[in-house]
Amino acid sequence: MVGFEAAAVRDWDFPRAAAGVALLVEHAREHGVPDDVVLAGTDLTAVGATEVTAAQELRVVRNLRARLGEVGPDVGRRYRAATFGVLGYALLASRTVHEAMNLALRFLDLSHAFAIPRAELDGQQVRVVVSGDGLPDDVRRFLVERDAAAIRAVLVELAAMPVRLTTTGDDRVLTFDVAELGRPLSHSDPTTLVGFEAACREVVGHRRERTGFAGEVRVLVTQRLPGGAPLAAVAAALGVSERTLRRRLSADGTGYQRLLDEVRGSMAEELLGTGRLSVEEVGLRLGYAEASSFIAAHRRWTGATPGARARR
């Protein structure tokens, strides 16, 4: 019997890739809203960050909504599988629609979703219910409509299948025939899928093990990686002294250098896993001025060179 794996997360307050914010900024820019206006109050000065907090993305949503209104569906239609980075490449490499959906639900925290979806069977129909339960009142409609439109856009991209999108109360419901679950995907590559799925596990493993204060520091470190993420800059962004930052991380059972290495290791896994960047380019994004320094660090973290990881 066909079934669906439960979503790996039950709450929307988790770190997320910055690509969702990039799409919001891009939509704003195309409609005459300057970047500094839509990013106001986020501590983001550009869209170059690789990871953002839920609070930062919510602030961008509020800024965009204040200027353009309920444009969630328009933003959602901009999404493509590649928007989700390594998760998107795993979706593309999946064998069937069913396999891709289960993968997406398992690694939902690699998406940009706020409205946590659930998939269910209803006779000969599959229903994907996108609910705004637990979301802030002022942005609930925007987020539900954006996330539902994004799911539909990616499903259509993956399988060129008919997907109906309807409204039921405050929810949005995507419906398609159950036979579509077995539809083979044109970019399926089971060998490549193994590597992408392993990269997804690696990335979410690091994200899920850090919550609270350490989790917030982790995201701010990620945003400052190209500049080396100096402790002083992260402490200033949090509004605390360097001493306080070290003390609070110690209370969370970690330290700044350890957290920095974790972030770099996780980002290296994700960036190398896509196969789109050279070792030198990945090193620069992680804040290493020389490729040799990145190679040495990667060998220390994993016992292997980044070149070996990229060829897997």
| Residue-level pLDDT at 49 | 64
Q: How far apart are CA 248 and CA 252, in angstroms?
A: 6
Q: Is residue 295's pLDDT more than 60?
A: yes
Residue for token pair 């899920």: 208
**Over 80: is that where the pLDDT of 120 sits?**
yes
Give whichever of 88-97, 230-239, 267-276 has the largest mean pLDDT.
88-97
For tokens 């200027």, the residue is: 67
Q: Kindly tell me the sign of the dihedral angle through the C-alpha atoms of 8, 12, 16, 22.
A: positive
Q: Which residue has the higher pLDDT, 142 or 9?
A: 142
Q: Which structural domains are found in the chain, ordered by start?
A: 16-182 (3.90.1520.10), 209-311 (1.10.10.60)
Instruction: Indicate if the pLDDT at residue 1 is higher than 60.
Output: no
Query: What letter represents residue 59's amino acid?
Result: R
Residue 47 has pLDDT above 70, yes or no: no
**How high is the pLDDT of residue 210?**
64
Instruction: Say whether pLDDT at 21 is over 60.
Output: yes
pLDDT reading at 149 higher than 80: yes
- Phi then psi for residue 42, to 5 deg, are -105, -15
d(CA 113, CA 275): 25
Residues whose CB falls within 8 Å of the CB of residue 157, separated by 6 or more in sequence, listed in order: 80, 81
Partner residues linked to 184 by β-bridges: 96
Cβ neighbors of 26 (< 8 A, separation 6 or more) are: 78
User: Mean per-residue pLDDT for 55-80?
Assistant: 96
Helical H segments across the chain, by residue range: 19-30, 35-38, 54-68, 72-76, 86-93, 97-106, 140-159, 190-208, 212-223, 231-238, 242-251, 256-274, 279-285, 291-302, 306-311
Rounded CA-CA distance 103/140 in Å is 25
Q: Say how far apart CA 53 and CA 35 lie, in whole Å.
A: 18
Q: What is the mean pLDDT of residues 254-274?
A: 85
Please report which confidence band the pLDDT of residue 167 belongs to, taking 50, 70 and 90 as the band edges: very high
Question: Is the per-residue pLDDT at 150 higher than 80?
Answer: yes
Percent over 90 (pLDDT), the chain: 55
pLDDT band at residue 218 under the 50/70/90 scheme: confident
Cα-to-chain-centroid distance, residue 58: 14
What's the pLDDT at 223?
84
User: What is the rounded average pLDDT for all residues in the chain?
Assistant: 89
Give yes or no for residue 250 having a pLDDT over 80.
yes
Q: Structure tokens of 116? A: 């946590």
Instruction: Assess whether pLDDT exceeds 80 at residue 7.
Output: no
Confidence at residue 308, expressed as pLDDT on a 0 to 100 scale: 63
Whether 86 shows a pLDDT value over 60: the answer reads: yes
Q: Which of 50, 11, 54 is nearest to 286 (CA)?
A: 50
Q: Cα–Cα distance between 84 and 301 in angstroms, integer?
A: 25
pTM given for the model? 0.75
For the chain, percent of residues with pLDDT exceeding 70: 93
User: Do 13 and 135 meet the contact criterion of CB atoms below 8 Å apart?
Assistant: no
User: Using CA atoms, how far apart are residues 224 and 25, in angstroms rounded to an integer?
Assistant: 19
The pLDDT value given to residue 205: 75
Instruction: Kindly indicate the confidence band of residue 179, based on its pLDDT and cuts at 50, 70 and 90.
Output: very high
Where residue 126 falls among pLDDT bands split at 50, 70, 90? very high
Confidence (pLDDT) at 8: 65
d(CA 47, CA 220): 14
Nearest CA among 97, 243, 210, 71 for reference residue 60: 71
Residue-level pLDDT at 289: 83
Predicted pLDDT at 2: 67
| pLDDT at 222 > cutoff 60 | yes
Q: Render the burial of 288-304: b for 16+ CB within 10 Å, e for the rest.
A: beebeebbebbeebeee
